[in-house]
A and B are shown apart, each in its own frame.
Chain A
Amino acid sequence: MATISAPEHVRSNALQNAAGLGVAGQPLLDVRNLSLSFATAGGALPVTRNVSFSIAPGERVGLVGESGCGKTVTGLSLLRLLPTHSARIEGDVLFDGTDLLKLSPRRMRAVRGRDIAMIFQEPMSALDPVFTVGDQISEAYRIHFPASKAEGRERAIAALREVGIPAPERRCDEYPHQLSGGMRQRVMIAMALICKPKLLIADEPTTALDVTVQAQITDLLRSLSERTGTALIFITHDLGVVAETCTRMITMYAGEVVEDAPVDDVLTRPRHPYTSGLLRSLPGLSKRRGVLASIPGRVPSPQAMPAGCRFRSRCTHAAPGCEADQRMIEIEPGHAARCWRAPELALAGAVN
């Protein structure tokens, strides 16, 4: 695809050199200028614009932002799970060098679940209530590999054991409603990992769970990723979960990537005012019964997206120059922000 804005492309290459490089020297996933719009009665409604990032083999990346910032649709568009009649996707999604957006539907189906798997927020609605969990996990395997029913069952039991479900031989024959919320999410993870994918996209996998169960699931995802070398895209609004699970954090705002940095760096010294605002809004980090920080205003709607920096109207650092379109600037190796003032601003992070 002919790139619309050259700097974007240059930027994404620069970033790969810094952060997205694997051992073999090639990123596992390279997303370039991914723009998504939905067809509506009132014309095309742009949802994300020029989203670019890359992920190295085995890397765990947190994709954060508030509701409506485009993180879930970005996850879905990587796997082409959006309705084809209304969603228009532009850009490149290079996975192991192949552009997923150009694959035939049949070849795309071979990628889903095999090379890239996805788990969702609400495990109950992602599982089929009329089949046993064993059948569903085994199906995920047998779609991609020639295996007998018996072998599928064996593999399903092994996968359940792997994700820490006690008595997997018995659980295998149970239906989703017989399992608790945490168990169902474990089943989803077992199903997602049974083909040993190279990349797992987890969309708010712990949001519906209690905090003690959330801790179990994030620990499980991290240790599985470390053990099997599966790369992880962790879509969440919870910066604490990202801090504990991921190695890199990508912040999205109003359909754009606004910051891309190693987790420890960005928590200590965020470079985009929006990331800093998110970090400062967390109540646990401010003084008890003191006044909480917040970000004034609200996310602009896709119908009325302002020109220039999309965060400008809510930004306390807005200045002349912000009305121009912002591109990602690499501030230090591996740390980029979509803010021309980023190099000069000293923004508060999670620690002060």
Chain B
Amino acid sequence: MTAARHDAADAGILAVRDLRILFPSRDGRDTVKAIDGMDFEVKVGETFGVIGESGSGKTTLGRALVSLLRPTYGQILHDGTDPATLGSRAFRQHRRDYQIIFQDPNAALNPRMTIIDSVVEPLEILREGDAASRRRRGIEMLERVGLAAEAADRYPHQLSGGQKQRVNIARVLTLRPKVIVCDEVVAALDVSIRGDVLNLFADLQREFGLTYVFITHDISVVSHISDRIAVTYLGKLMELGPAEDVVERPLHPYTRALLSSEPIPLPSHLRVDRRIILEGEIPSPVSPPSGCRFRTRCPSVQPRCAEDVPAWREVRPGHLVACHFATAEGPPADNQQARSAS
């Protein structure tokens, strides 16, 4: 344990070491490689954004980070401790520090339980205080997330989507967690209230010193709230770096394409036509391409990409990339540009 603790000093509050998560396919004949080798650390108090398309493994990652899934290989360390080694009682106490909020605010609430019953249930499970004090804490938290105390005795169907997501936030906050994994938490909300919920997350982070892992497919959301951004593709990290660098000066051809495909609500004269339309779709995680997984859609693909798996390299300080040809200047030129230039 002392060795592990020592290690933890620089490991951050969450450390992911060579993580692999494999599932048998439905017919049992194949293996779905949902996460196929990821290494990163999350620092205390930061917002760590994870972005990727469906099938990139981001939801699996989120569930594994809070011990809802066990790593098939590799480790996830919580503050230096591997939760998989804890006994069931210690594990139950431990996991209160590592919580998750899901995408669908509706599905996350039991329709037959009142709001307050849902909010205090985690405290009941941990046998904290008596019923009256739990209720008091629950109502305090509901008020903190901007819901009136009257909402406490209502049922989920009487609340709007935004209000329900606030209830889910209040529920995890009653536990005073250290880390909250947010899996597409604003995807189901309308644009006009999304801002409110994101502002609330930012306020709560300051107030409670929370660490967030923010998983989303929405580039504008992730770039707005994150300190650092990890880009996932088919079970691997493609790029990881400070948010501003990843968004303004990406290193990986995939990140560049992803950013350029985000539709921008600007009038035509202000829009620079720099769209890179990727061909095809994300391949199957059952049989990912050899070498670099992005090569089948990469506009800068070279013969080497099919042979060697790109190393995970630090190209700029704190900015890592998995591409043979990325340099500190940025991603390699796409082949079409290179051809027309020569």
* Smallest Cβ-Cβ distance to B270: which chain A residue: A351
| Known contacts A237-B190, A264-B268, A351-B267: A288-B281 contact under CB 8 Å | no
Could you tell me the dominant secondary structure of chain A's interface residues?
helix
* Smallest Cβ-Cβ distance to B193: which chain A residue: A294
B193 neighbours in A (Cβ, 8 Å): 294-295, 298
B224 neighbours in A (Cβ, 8 Å): 283-284, 286, 288-289, 292
* Smallest Cβ-Cβ distance to B254: which chain A residue: A212
Contacting B262 at CB < 8 Å: which of A183, A278, A284?
Answer: A284
The interface on chain A, measured as residues whose beta carbon lies within 8 A of the other chain's beta carbons, has a size of: 47
Q: CA–CA, A226 to B261, complex, Å?
A: 20
Query: Chain A interface: which of B82-90, B116-124, B195-203?
Result: B195-203
Is A279 touching B265 in the complex (CB atoms < 8 A)?
yes
* B177–chain A nearest beta-carbon distance, Å: 22
Q: How many A-B residue pairs have CB under 8 A?
A: 132
* A347–chain B nearest beta-carbon distance, Å: 15
- Judge if A219 is at the interface, Cβ distance under 8 Å: yes
- Judge if B275 is at the interface, Cβ distance under 8 Å: yes
- Judge if A216 is at the interface, Cβ distance under 8 Å: yes
A351 neighbours in B (Cβ, 8 Å): 266-267, 270
* B273–chain A nearest beta-carbon distance, Å: 10
- Judge if B162 is at the interface, Cβ distance under 8 Å: yes
Q: CA–CA, A239 to B194, complex, Å?
A: 14
B286 neighbours in A (Cβ, 8 Å): none
- Judge if A57 is at the interface, Cβ distance under 8 Å: no
B160 neighbours in A (Cβ, 8 Å): 298
* Smallest Cβ-Cβ distance to B194: which chain A residue: A281
Is the interface on chain B under 10, 10 to 19, 20 to 34, or 35 or more residues?
Answer: 35 or more
* Smallest Cβ-Cβ distance to B160: which chain A residue: A298
Contacting A215 at CB < 8 Å: which of B198, B220, B261, B270?
Answer: B261
- Judge if A214 is at the interface, Cβ distance under 8 Å: yes
Q: CA–CA, A267 to B264, complex, Å?
A: 11
* Smallest Cβ-Cβ distance to A241: which chain B residue: B263
B270 neighbours in A (Cβ, 8 Å): 351
- Judge if A181 is at the interface, Cβ distance under 8 Å: yes
* Smallest Cβ-Cβ distance to B162: which chain A residue: A298
Is A267 touching B278 in the complex (CB atoms < 8 A)?
no
Q: Hey, what's the 0/1 contact readout for A264-300 against B, CB within 8 Å counting as 1?
A: 1101100000000111011111101101111100100
- Judge if A243 is at the interface, Cβ distance under 8 Å: yes
A277 neighbours in B (Cβ, 8 Å): 192
Q: CA–CA, A283 to B196, complex, Å?
A: 11
Contacting B191 at CB < 8 Å: which of A66, A212, A267?
Answer: A66
A212, A279, A285 pick with most chain B CB within 10 angstroms = A212
Q: CA–CA, A57 to B56, complex, Å?
A: 41
- Judge if A83 is at the interface, Cβ distance under 8 Å: no
A238 neighbours in B (Cβ, 8 Å): 263
* B9–chain A nearest beta-carbon distance, Å: 28
Q: CA–CA, A292 to B198, complex, Å?
A: 7
Q: CA–CA, A195 to B243, complex, Å?
A: 47
Contacting A211 at CB < 8 Å: which of B243, B244, B261?
Answer: B261
Is A288 touching B223 in the complex (CB atoms < 8 A)?
yes
* B279–chain A nearest beta-carbon distance, Å: 8
- Judge if A86 is at the interface, Cβ distance under 8 Å: no
Q: Hey, what's the 0/1 contact readout for B199-237 against A, CB within 8 Å counting as 1?
A: 100100000000000000101110111000000000000
Q: Tell me the A residues contacting B by CB distance below 8 Å.
A: 66-67, 180-183, 210-216, 218-219, 237-244, 263-265, 267-268, 277-279, 281-286, 288-289, 291-295, 298, 350-351
Top 10 nearest A-B pairs (CB, nearest first) are A240-B263, A284-B220, A292-B195, A294-B195, A215-B261, A264-B267, A295-B192, A210-B53, A239-B265, A283-B224
Beyond A181-B281, A239-B265, A240-B263, list 19 extra A-B contacts (CB 8 Å). Answer: A66-B190, A66-B191, A67-B190, A183-B281, A211-B53, A214-B263, A215-B275, A215-B278, A240-B265, A263-B268, A279-B265, A282-B220, A283-B198, A283-B223, A292-B198, A295-B193, A298-B162, A350-B265, A351-B267
Q: Tell me the B residues contacting A by CB distance below 8 Å.
A: 53-54, 160, 162, 190-196, 198-199, 202, 217, 219-221, 223-225, 243-244, 257-258, 261-271, 275, 277-279, 281-282
22 pairs, CB–CB < 8 Å, chain A vs chain B:
A66-B190, A210-B281, A211-B258, A216-B277, A237-B191, A239-B191, A243-B265, A243-B268, A243-B271, A263-B267, A267-B265, A278-B191, A281-B194, A282-B191, A282-B220, A283-B224, A284-B219, A292-B199, A292-B224, A294-B195, A295-B193, A351-B266
